[in-house]
A = this chain, B = another copy of it.
């Protein structure tokens, strides 16, 4: 039995090594330079070994995408926990989102189709769950903020996507170097965008907010 578990452990480790090699390669030279052969060389195996773990290069990238969403979720949750109030929580999560993209651009790229695999099958269970987990964290924070602000938050799902879209849009533009210097500090831009978003939501309620008891 113990030999079998060792085998399984080794398999797990090799799988992790493959994923890490792909990441390191992408971090160092960009996703365009990542090839099956280079990954294999890095883990000191022959190329076909990759296909023992992943059906294709694309599936390998999807696996990294899952890992990315999991790591992002951790960061978002941390930011949420450390904040003093619901508004600060959302701002902290916004900067955490951006910081994550800065710290792990190769993961952020693979998570958002910025690596050349824009369209791919996301219907796998683990993929869906990893993405949903990250979404739920933000969704919960928005809902909490709404209650705290004495607003009836309707269209929670929509507000989630507005926030996600805002953050992703700015982050992608910044990463691609699309912003002129006049746009100032990127992090400040993210904060401004989030503050503006919240202001718009506050003001969106012309109907009387739910009275506090």
Interface, chain A (partner B; CB < 8 A)? 30-32, 109, 112-119, 122, 131, 157-158, 161-162, 164-170, 172-173, 175-180, 182-184, 189, 192-193, 195-204
State whether B169 touches A157 (Cβ < 8 A): no
Q: A158-B184, A170-B161, A173-B161 are in contact. Are A199 and B203 (CB under 8 A)?
A: yes
Given A119-B176, A172-B172, A200-B200, 14 more contacts at CB 8 Å? Answer: A112-B176, A157-B180, A158-B184, A161-B179, A161-B189, A162-B192, A164-B169, A165-B166, A165-B193, A167-B169, A168-B172, A195-B200, A198-B200, A202-B203
State whether B203 touches A172 (Cβ < 8 A): no
**Copies of the chain in the assembly:** 2
State the 6 A-B residue pairs at the shortest beta-carbon distance, nearest first: A169-B169, A116-B116, A196-B200, A165-B169, A165-B170, A200-B200
B-side contacts of A184, CB under 8 Å: 158
> Which of B31, B183, B193, B196 interacts with A157 by CB under 8 Å?
B183
